[in-house]
Structure 1
Amino acid sequence: MPLKAVLFDMDGVIVDTEPLHRKAYFKTFNELEISVSEELYTSFTGASTKRVAETLIQKYNLAHSYEDIAAIKRAHFKDYFDNDDEFDLIPGVRELIKHYHENGIKLILASSATMVTINMVFEKFGLEQYFSGKISGAALKESKPHPEVFLLASEMAEEPVTNCMVIEDSTNGILAASRAEIFCAAYRSPHSKNQDYTLADIVVSDYEELELDKLSKYF
């Protein structure tokens, strides 16, 4: 089947907001006066803020609502997003996005991030022109590793799953793509630690490896 649509995760694939989220989360944990281990924090990779907040409320018997926790975290995140000098697109991703766009491939964003965060990223880096659709997993009933976000993205692209490819970097995202039965390229980010790429169809550490001529043996 020919490749007609690429479904991009955002965090760790297009931008690395992970360091910003990390700073914002740990600042939030300090405010909530809870001590979160690295192991627990790693288990949150790819999960929505709502799910993280609900986990914290349960684990630490917090009196806060998940909305309260999400609001605290969001304020810290926005501050880092606007002011952190190190924040930029992942190397090579703008070129890859333009490459697909120029070759008539439909691009859909399918991220666990909120639509507010997605729009902030798209505006800051001028990505709107390349994408024909955006889905926020935060607005869905199920979050990754449930396949819902990618199945909706393939519907939005108006392409069968066999004509789609997912680009992901997290265990949960790769599992979601696998459950959706969509070809999955895993990007091995220097920042995503302890992620499991076993279920990915290909694993790359440089976006040039995902140019169309390199994918011809798969599609």
Structure 2
Amino acid sequence: MNIIFDMDGVLIKSEYAYSLAIQRVLADHGVDVDLSYIDQYRGRSNPETWQEIIADFSVLDQASDYYIDRVFSYREEIVARDGIIPCDHILELLNAWHGKGYRMSVASSSPMSEIERTMDALGIRSYFEHLVTGEAVAQSKPAPDIFLYSAKLMNLEPKDCIVIEDSSHGVQAAKLAGMYCIAYVDPHEPAQDVSLADEVVEDYRDLLDRKL
């Protein structure tokens, strides 16, 4: 079986760090938003996220790269404090699927440096054939580009791939790519609309003995 994983919110508990960092950057510039505003950008690339945020608030008068750099700086503080935390039972699932010979790749909107750091911190890089960043494709999720590119790297047809996603944009991208999509929903995270997914799981242990 051929599995393509998103990273943030699927492999690691990192969405909260990005959300808090964005909220803090906005507060620094006199913009107060609650986390529900930021949640709408889950799964999107950083440049596209900030293009839209800047359009929403006229007080933001710097280029996107300025705000992205500030977000990463604040996120680093959170990671230094909390570490890189794997999603519950994901390491058990990856080990089981690797042992079964499943082919696996990562397709994340995060920069490659973040993807590689996560792989190395959790000791899971060897499980994945390819690591694909949103920087490698023209359009970010919800466009299907990143998943289609991942399938191409694996020499697979889209119909032969399963995507595991956690965000509304990610699920949309997987379905537009013509792939089967399993939505992982962490009950401790803000709810996302994953109604387009083919199935939803809240506990990775439910997939351990599944024949995919």
CA drift at 1:81 = 1.4
Residue 36 of structure 1, CA deviation: 2.1
How far 1:144 moved relative to its partner?
0.7
Aligned sequence identity (%)? 28
Structure 1 runs (4+) deviating above 3 angstroms are: none
Report deviation, 1:172: 0.8
Give a deviation string over 1:65-120, Cα, whole Å, max 9, x none. Answer: 101111111111122112225x4101110111111111111111011111121112
- In terms of mean alpha carbon deviation, does 132-141 or 162-171 score higher? 132-141
CA distance in 2, matches of 1:63, 1:196: 32
2:43·2:169 contact (CA, 8 Å) conserved in 1? yes
Q: Distance in 2 between matches of 1:15 and 1:57?
A: 28
| Pairing 1:1-16 to 2, within 5 Å after superposition | 3=1, 5-16=2-13
Q: Which one-letter code corresponds to 1:171 in the other structure?
A: S
Q: Is the 8 A contact 2:43 2:170 kept in 1?
A: yes
Which of 10, 29, 32 in structure 1 is aligned with 2:29? 32
SS at match of 2:210: helix
Report the Cα distance in structure 2 between the residues aligned to 1:191 and 1:48, rounded to whole angstroms: 23
**1:214 aligned onto 2:201:** no
Q: 1:103–1:92: structure 2 CA closer, same or farther, 3 Å change rule?
A: same
Residue pair 1:10, 1:110 contacting (<8 A) in 2 also: yes
Stretch of structure 1 that moved more, 64-73 or 50-59: 50-59
State the TM-score, normalizing by the size of structure 2.
0.93
Shift of 1:205: 1.0
Taking a change above 3 Å as real, the CA distance of residues 139 and 75 of structure 1, as seen in their structure-2 partners, is: farther
> Does the alignment pair 1:189 with 2:186?
yes
**CA 1:39–1:171 in 2, change beyond 3 Å: closer, same or farther?**
same
Equivalent position SS for 1:215: coil
Q: In the alignment, which residue of structure 1 is the partner of 2:171?
A: 174
Partner SS for 1:214:
coil
State the partner residue of 2:125. 128
Deviation at 1:162, TM superposition (A): 2.1
Give the alignment partner of residue 152 of structure 1, picking from 149, 152, 158: 149
Partner of 2:72: 74
Aligned 1:52-71 pairs, distance under 5 A: 52-61=49-58, 62-71=60-69
Q: Which runs of 5+ in 2 are unaligned?
A: none
Paired with 2:188 and 2:171, the residues of 1 have a C-alpha distance of 16
How many aligned positions are there? 211
Could you tell me how far apart the structure 2 residues matched to 1:53 and 1:197 are? 23
- Aligned residue for 2:101, secondary structure, equals coil
> What is the root-mean-square deviation in Å for CA atoms of aligned residues?
1.6
Task: Report the more deviating stretch, 35-44 or 46-55.
Answer: 35-44
